[in-house]
Structure 1
Amino acid sequence: MKHLKLAALISGAMLAMTGTAYAKTDMTFGGYIKADVMFSDYGNGAPDSGSLSRQFYVPGTIYGEKGNGKQVVDFQARESRFNFKTVTDLEGGHSLTGFIELDFMTHTDGNERVSNSYSPRIRHAFVTYDNWTIGQTWTTFQNPGALPENLDFVGAADGTPFVRQALIKYTSGNFQIALENPETTLTPNNTGGARITSGSGVVPDVIARYNFSQEGGAAYSLAAIVRQLNVEELQGTTQLDSTDVGYGVSFAGVIPVGKDDFKFTATYGEGLGRYMALNYANAGVLDSNNEIQTITSYGGFVSYRHWWSEQWRSSFTLSGFSADNDVNLTGGSVNKEAYSGYVNLLYSPSKPLTFGVEYMHALNEREDGVDGDLNRIMFSAKYVL
């Protein structure tokens, strides 16, 4: 990253425009360029070109398309990202930080026929003033520092909380508490894979997290969430109006082992839904009276990173998720379990440049016994700006 010290210039300009005295502003531009080549083998046939599963592993998207070939290759540079950050020291010892980051993943507004042009999307956009953070960033329920060093975009997707969303967060020492954007995903009564996405309700998701460490560099986090599940909408001729409460806990950590490290996350909850495994399972199901019944889920991953030398390293990762569906309510065509394993070899000839190869195997299973599997070999080149 390149740091541009513009204290005198910005202070004078801001003073002239706003009348506020700024002691110093640091401006940072960063990000990386990443190119991927993925050779994938889908057990039931590959998803169509441009599908999300062709960009990265998303549990629940690998059941396949009958009639399609099983082996496919994808080239992409869509994970490349850029960000801009400012840190300003204000009068009275206050600090103001702004951060925005964009990449090009998940969009379907481009194609691979000619230009491979994809729109940028917001990953992060937030302001921090002293202890307060307002804007879009990682959910407080997730510890991104505990994610494994995998080439896949998420890495251990089925075993980790993974959400970015708008929030208001207060931090005091090791403790954090946040009000975050609510969104409920439900399975209609006995309709299998259908999904109701409800944005109704006025109660934010409430999340608290405590970060702590031990001698030797081990770092941990313990997070808890309480959320309202709510649906108020007309489905066909049926008026839905139901509320329930979901909750969950997540424990994550990074433990140094000499130069190596061990990373893990373990999560359990009722009505977690979209917070786990990229919404592999819904938060709840509607019973015969169209009342919400929460779905229990749990998941986790373990990852060990070994440094072979100063330039060579490998990560070994196992990840899994399971949902306790009531099939009398959900039907059999809902997601039940997802597992994945990864092994990679990364080489950094210089600090900002990394080449890597990774093998991934994933298996997903529905309640009716239908399963899908994915074997993928991925080659990547990454240059950190």
Structure 2
Amino acid sequence: MNIKISLTLTLLLTHLPALAATETEYELGGFLKANARYVDGTIAFQPSWNGDGTIQEEAKRTQFGAQESRFNLKLIRGEITGFAEIDFVGSSQGNPVISNSYSPRLRHAMIQYREFTAGQTWSTLVNTSTFAETADLGGPLVGQAMVRQALLRYQTDHWQVALENPYTYGTQASDTQEQKNWIETDNDYIPDAIIRYDQQGSWVNISVSGLIRYLDPSDTAQLGLGGSLAAKINTFGKDDLRFQLHYGNLGRYVGTDAAKDIICGEIETTSSAMVAYRHFWSETTRSSLFYGHTRTEVEQTDRSHFGVNLFTNLTPGLRVGVELGRYQIDDSQYSWSSKQVQTGQSNYAQFTLQFHI
């Protein structure tokens, strides 16, 4: 639940003889989240599973943390809406020896005016209503569209058209299997273009998206195309089915580092899927069973994540949950990142307590 505060700001307009009053509404939101996570297996520990991973000797690790807590501020003044959000994932100032300090990370900073949105927010390819409810941050990211970036978007009731920040992620055409270097992004000068159609009703929220990209690193140029289908379908009672299907030259847009845009000068093709079913045992207690998978054709990465959880609301603003799952890597050839064939799996258990502001 957001906290709403309405203030009246008196603005002095130098070209008018009188004062004008403009009401601005502030909404404070976010949550505090405490996690306890246990991982056992041959894939190195991650605070939450993404599409990457390093194979190691079998190991066990437990970590407590609160860095997934986030805070946001929404400002509404007439037809203008501003939204900014931070959390503390992915960076640290201290260490477990002393302070466990974490640096703030910008998630969103955007402005909406009528049908236009500008700034950093979810990519137009992302349909957040189809994310599974999970203890692991973001759920089965390996099978989802999960990108936030700067963009300019025009939106109507059913259509969205956007130009988004261009960036080529991958390796150079001159690379060999033994010597590989990141692509230089000096020639990322044409924005990525996305068009999306949405249909919402009492029982379904569905979106179909298309992506067009021109990738022009220093030693190759590629036209990339990709498509995405995502839906949330209400089934029985309060239950729902959520899924995403992705195919094409989607690269960094899907799988959260499971796929690159270009491998040794060749554009990558990705197939990804995510499905989750949520069942309500009572008005406040529910479980989700979920699965995510990504496979690439050039680098031949194969990553999957599945799990099951149980959540209940102790109060309207306080929820507690426990989740069990597995993350697997079944790459079929020499991996660019690890310089070896990667095969491994890790099981995990996670307890989470989340207090919504």
Where in structure 1 are there 5+ consecutive unaligned residues? Answer: 48-52, 90-94, 233-240, 287-291, 326-333
State the Cα deviation string for residues 122-167 of structure 1 (Å, max 9, x = none). Answer: 0000011111111000000111111000111121111111100000
Cα distance in 2 between the residues matched to 1:73 and 1:5: 44
Q: Secondary structure at the match of 2:252?
A: helix
Q: Which has the higher helix share?
A: 1
Cα distance in 2 between the residues matched to 1:5 and 1:251: 39
Contact residue 62 and residue 374 of structure 1 kept, 8 A: no
Letter in 2 for 1:353: L
Q: Which of 248, 258, 266 is 2:226 aligned to?
A: 248
Q: CA RMSD in A?
A: 1.9
State the Cα deviation string for residues 199-255 of structure 1 (Å, max 9, x = none). Answer: 2221000011111124x42110001100011212xxxxxxxx321111100000010
Q: Which residue of 1 aligns with 2:91?
A: 107
Q: Which of 337, 341, 352 is 1:380 aligned to?
A: 352
Letter in 1 for 2:6: K
Q: Which residue of 2 aligns with 1:71?
A: 60
Cα distance in 2 between the residues matched to 1:109 and 1:195: 29
Superposition misfits of 4+ residues, deviation over 4 angstroms: 15-23, 192-195
Structure 1 stretch displaced more, 189-198 or 126-135 = 189-198
Give the alignment's TM-score, normalised by structure 1: 0.85
Letter in 2 for 1:28: E
Q: Secondary structure at the match of 1:145?
A: helix
Contact residue 98 and residue 127 of structure 1 kept, 8 A: yes
Letter in 2 for 1:264: F
Percent identity for Structure 1 against Structure 2: 32
Letter in 1 for 2:224: G
TM-superposed deviation, 1:190: 3.3
Letter in 1 for 2:191: P
Q: Which residue of 1 aligns with 2:274?
A: 301
State the Cα deviation string for residues 260-298 of structure 1 (Å, max 9, x = none). Answer: 11000000012x211111121211223xxxxx3211111
Q: Which residue of 2 aligns with 1:2?
A: 3
Q: Which residue of 1 aligns with 2:321?
A: 356
Cα distance in 1 between the residues matched to 2:239 and 2:215: 41
Q: Which residue of 1 aligns with 2:40?
A: 41
Q: Which residue of 2 aligns with 1:61?
A: 53
TM-superposed deviation, 1:315: 0.4
TM-superposed deviation, 1:21: 4.5
The within-5 A match list for 1:156-171 is 156-171=140-155
Q: Secondary structure at the match of 1:211?
A: strand
Give the alignment's TM-score, normalised by structure 2: 0.91
Where in structure 2 are there 5+ consecutive unaligned residues? Answer: 334-340
2:190 matches 1:190:
no
Cα distance in 2 between the residues matched to 1:192 and 1:58: 25
2:196 matches 1:209:
yes
Cα distance in 2 between the residues matched to 1:306 and 1:81: 27
Letter in 1 for 2:245: A
Q: Secondary structure at the match of 2:94?
A: coil
Q: Which residue of 2 aligns with 1:273?
A: 251
Contact residue 13 and residue 20 of structure 2 kept, 8 A: no
Contact residue 60 and residue 335 of structure 1 kept, 8 A: no
Q: Secondary structure at the match of 1:113?
A: coil
Q: Secondary structure at the match of 1:196?
A: coil
Q: Which of 249, 254, 263 is 2:242 aligned to?
A: 263
CA shift in 2, pair 1:108/1:259, >3 Å: same
- Alignment coverage as a number of residue pairs: 343
Cα distance in 2 between the residues matched to 1:350 and 1:82: 20
Contact residue 93 and residue 100 of structure 2 kept, 8 A: no
Contact residue 267 and residue 299 of structure 1 kept, 8 A: yes
Q: Secondary structure at the match of 1:310?
A: coil
Q: Which of 222, 226, 229 is 2:215 aligned to?
A: 229
